[in-house]
Amino acid sequence: MVKRDKRDKNSKGKSGGARRGKRGPTMAEQADRHALYEAAVQCVEAEIDFVDDEFMRLRGRRARYLREDFCGTGNTSCEWVRRRSDNYATGVDLDEEVLGWGQANHVAALTPAQRKRIALVHDDVLEATTPLQDIVLAMNFSYWLLKERRLLRRYFRRVLDALNDDGIFFLDCYGGYDAFRELKEKTEHDDFTYVWDQASYNPVDGNLLCHIHFHFPDGSKLKRAFSYEWRLWTLPEIREILAEAGFRRTTVYWQGWDEDEQDGSGEFLPVTRADADAGWICYITAEK
C-alpha cells in the first residue's frame, strides 16, 4: 500500500531472536533504529523540492522560515537550511531522545553557518510558540496522534497563528481501502527489510495501531522499532477541520503514475478527483 510509509514514536526497539553467541552481536543488535527509519520512509530532498516549489508557485516568492512539527530527528529541517543561505528552520518534537539523536547526527554535520539557522526545540506542538513562519510542515501523518476532532482543530489553529499572512501549512495523508485492513507489508532494502504492520483497526472509533519492524539478512529482527496509536483520518475530515480552524483554502496533491516503472511517478499535482485505489498517499496545502 503506502509507498512512502513513515512513522515514529517513543517505543523502544527490541531485538528479535536470532543467531548470536560466539559469532558476536546480531545485525539487529547493532542497528540504529533512527537511521533505519530514515532510510526506509524518508526522502527529505524530494519533500523539500515539493514544498519549496509549491510555495513559490502559490506565493510568487521563495519561503525562508520553515517550522517542522513532529520533527523527530530534524532531518527535513536540516535539508531546508542546506538549500539556501537565507533559509531558517525550527523543528519541534516532544521526545528528547530523538531530538538528541538528530542534534548529534544531523545538526552536528551541518556547516557552522547552517547550524546558526536551525533550532530543534523540545516542546509540544499544541503549546509551542515560535516566530512567524512562511511554512509549517506536519509530515508522515504525525498529526494523526491527535485523535479527537477538537484536539486536531486546536492544533490546526495553533499552526494558523504561527504562520505569516501568506504562510502555507503542508501536511501529508494516506488512505485507500487497504488502510482500513489489518495487514503486514514488506519492502526490501539493500541490507534490511522494512515491515509496515497495521496491527489493529477499530471501525467504531477509527483508532489504528501500527508498528514498524526491521528484519535483517542474518535472521535477526528489530520488532516494534516504532509503534503508533493513531486516528485514521480521512481527507474530507482533515479538510473540513482545516477550514473550521480558519484556513482559507486547502488543496490536495495526488501522485502521478509512471507507466514504464508501473509505480508512482514521485510527482504530486493538484486534483479535485482521484482513483479509489487500494493505497494512496497525498500532500495537502492549507493556505492562511
Ligand X SMILES: C[S@@+](CC[C@H](N)C(=O)[O-])C[C@H]1O[C@@H](n2cnc3c(N)ncnc32)[C@H](O)[C@@H]1O
* Best CA proximity match to 76, nearest among 129, 5, 125, 140: 140
User: In the complex, what is the shortest distance from the CB of residue 74 to ligand X, in angstroms, rounded to a whole number?
Assistant: 9
Amino acid identity of residue 232, one-letter, is: L
User: What's the closest the beta carbon of residue 145 comes to ligand X, in angstroms?
Assistant: 5
Rounded Cα–Cα distance for residues 178 and 261 (Å):
22
Cell triple for residue 283? 500532500
Sign of CA dihedral 169, 133, 34, 143: negative
Residue 272 beta carbon to ligand X: minimum distance, rounded to whole angstroms: 26
**Alpha carbons 213 and 16: distance in angstroms, whole number:** 10
- Min dist. Cβ of residue 101 to ligand X (A): 10
Q: How far is CA 91 from CA 11, 74, 131, 182, 215, in A?
A: 20, 6, 12, 32, 30
Q: Which is closer to ligand X, CB of 170 or CB of 192?
A: 170
Coil, helix or strand at residue 177: helix
Residue closer to ligand X by CB (options 55, 170) is 170
* Cα–Cα distance, 96 to 110 (Å, whole number): 20
Residue with smaller CB distance to ligand X, 27 or 71: 71
Name 268's bridge partners. 255
The residue among 34 and 215 lying less far from ligand X, judged by its C-beta, is 34
Instruction: Please identify, using beta-carbon distances, which residue of 70 and 170 lies nearer to ligand X.
Output: 70
Smallest distance, ligand X to C-beta of residue 99, A: 8
Distance CA 168, CA 9 (A): 26
How near is the Cβ of 270 to ligand X at its closest, in Å? 22
Binding site for ligand X (CB under 6 A): 6-10, 42, 70-72, 92-95, 98, 124-126, 139-140, 142, 145
Which of 133/142 has CB closer to ligand X? Answer: 142
Residues 280, 174 contacting (CB under 8 angstroms): yes
